[in-house]
Amino acid sequence: MTTASAEAVTARHHREIGGPRGLPFLGVAMQLLDDPFTLIEKATIEYGGIVRLRIPGQRAFLLSDPDLVKFAFVETERAITKPPPLIHRVDLALGKGLVTSTGDLWRRNRRIVNPVFTRERLAALEPLIHQTAQATIDRWRDLTVLDVREEMGRALLELVIHGLFSASAEVLEQFDAVARSLLTLFKFVARQFVSAIPYDLYLPTPLRVRSEIRRRHIDRVIGEMVARRRESGEDHDDILGLLMSATDPETGASLTLPEIADEVRTMFLAGYETTASALVFAFHMLSRHPLVRRRLEAELDEVLGGRLPGIEDLPNLPYTLQVFHETMRLYPPAWLIGREPVEDVELGGYLIPKGSLLFVSPWATHRSPRNWDAPLSFDPDRFAPEKRGTYHRFAYIPFGGGSRKCVGTNLAMLEGPLLLAALAQHYRLDAIPGEQLVIRGGLTLDIESGTRVSVTPRRPQIEGPTAA
């Protein structure tokens, strides 16, 4: 038996773990589907860093204590693994990519994909980020109202298309349809991910049939792109090209065509949806905290003077990075991460049987008063350089942790802060009275409504810069 206890104790039975009772027979299943955020926040405050969640047919536990979170992440692929039931719920969209694969397959694919996402490789995306930022700045110039969710989605889609495929006009036209299919798939798996009884996975419901059709369409288009690239013999230094040429440093193996398609879907999720959502939340928080926004703008004006930011500017934009980190603390895109013990483990003094479902919740961990002072307040100074080391390493986990930490972390921390800096120095976005941000739980945070904002240009001297 593996243990995560701070000291040797006699393990208590898992039924002694406290947690909300919910409804007869259903437990908290309906709450987890309808309003998971209130459920896990209240449960964490009331019951502590390990909570029993009563779900029909499943032993489930919510982890928010940083030491227990560390154990769940660090022990992954040894005493703890990705839970097969949850993997089955999302593999229609993601296949056997890095998010869903386990064991030797995951280790091999991670070795192959890791070099694609080094900081040095991603530096080649800087011109594309400049191009995307400038196009967005120009598009907003004559607007007074916009939907920031649509705009961030459009900007990130353009960036991902060019970054993945060095997009030609033909690819742009095809991938626009692929993107719509991917979003349909993500909505399907979002519902299954938090459903106590995911019947759409097992019955030929209209939603399931439509999702299967979308999946086949995506695979066909990606397969055609890869085939054309191979036939042409052209060498592109984009992410698709890197995936096609990457090999396992231990065995020399390369990815098959289906595996490349799976990783493309995974990278679309990591490089498009999550970063777009993080930027929506960042602008939402800036509109609600004018003092934070003015301090951010002062830093941008001083360092950039109206030009587009580059990678070399990031060390000189500490407050911009703090704003982005604090946004992801309050609104972590991957709000719920599943794990499963493959043997009996001791967590917090309790014996957790193998096969249990462990929910590691960045949302609950980031908002727990046991882990953070005034956790619901928006305070970017939590992440000031002098504050490093004052909070538990696993109290802030927007990208997960351990060996399975998100491979796209470097990509998100490049795209997000650079686009935030580029756009925030040109425009102020303010929520329109009556608009209320509505989010839903799924595979990632899903922003449902409340994203219309008013657009106010800033000082004239920085209204029309060009890229450095």
User: Which of left, alpha, beta for 406 (phi over 0: left; psi -120 to 50: alpha)?
Assistant: beta
The answer to whether residues 50 and 65 touch, using CB atoms and an 8 Å cutoff, is yes
What pLDDT does 389 receive? 82
Distance between CA atoms of 222 and 97, rounded to whole angstroms? Answer: 14
Confidence of residue 80 (pLDDT cuts 50, 70, 90): low
What distance, in Å, lies between the first and last C-alpha atoms of the chain? 57
Phi, psi of 22 (to 5 degrees): 70, -150
Position 197 scores a pLDDT of: 60
Place of tokens 């000291």: 7
Q: Residue 216 pLDDT more than 60?
A: yes
Report the C-alpha gap between 52 and 43 in whole angstroms.
9
Q: What is the pLDDT of residue 421?
A: 97
Confidence (pLDDT) at 461: 42
Within 13 Å and on the Cβ side, how many CA atoms surround 424? 33
Distance CA 96, CA 258 (A): 9
Q: Which residues pair with residue 264 across a beta bridge?
A: none
Average pLDDT over residues 336-347: 88
Measure Cα distances from 118 to 123, 125, 236, 239, 312 in Å: 9, 12, 17, 12, 16
Strands 427-431, 80-81: parallel, antiparallel or unpaired by DSSP? unpaired
Residue 349 has pLDDT above 50, yes or no: yes
| Burial (0-12, 13-18, 19+ Cβ within 10 Å), 26 | middle
Question: What pLDDT was estimated at residue 170?
Answer: 57
Q: Identify the residue with better confidence: 311 or 448.
A: 311
Question: For residue range 165-179, what is the model confidence (pLDDT) as tens digits?
Answer: 675 555 556 666 666
Higher pLDDT, 278 or 34: 278
**Rounded distance, CA 251 to CA 108, Å?**
9
118-142 tens-digit pLDDT: 878 788 889 989 999 999 999 999 9
CA separation for the pair 203, 369 (Å, rounded): 42
**For helices 274-288 and 409-424, what crossing angle results, to 10°?**
40
Judged by DSSP in three states, 258 sits in helix
Whole-model pTM: value is: 0.87
Structure tokens at 254: 């390369």
Q: What is the pLDDT of residue 215?
A: 78
Higher pLDDT, 242 or 2: 242
**CB 455 within 8 Å of CB 427:** yes
Asked whether the CA dihedral 380, 384, 389, 393 is positive or negative, the reply is: positive
Q: Which of 34-38, 115-119, 418-422 has the lowest mean pLDDT?
A: 115-119
> Which domains, ranges and CATH numbers included, belong to the chain?
2-462 (1.10.630.10)
Asked if residue 8 has pLDDT above 50, the reply is no
Q: Give residue 374's region: left, alpha or beta (phi > 0; psi -120 to 50).
A: left
pLDDT category, 465, cuts 50, 70, 90? very low
Residue pair 149/447 in contact by the 8 Å Cβ criterion = yes
- φ and ψ of 440, to 5 deg: -125, 155
* pLDDT at res. 167: 57
Q: List the structure tokens of 286.
A: 């800036």
Mean pLDDT estimate for the chain:
83
The predicted structure's pLDDT at residue 17: 93
Query: For residue 169, what are the contacts with CB-CB under 8 A and spacing of at least 6?
Result: none
pLDDT value at 466 more than 60: no
> 142 or 160: whose pLDDT is higher?
142
Residue 447 pLDDT > 60: yes
d(CA 345, CA 5) in angstroms, rounded, equals 10
Confidence class of residue 144 from pLDDT cuts 50, 70 and 90? very high
Q: For residue 58, list its beta bridge partners.
A: 55
Nearest CA to 222 out of 268, 159, 189 is that of 268
Handedness of CA 147, 148, 150, 151 (dihedral sign): positive
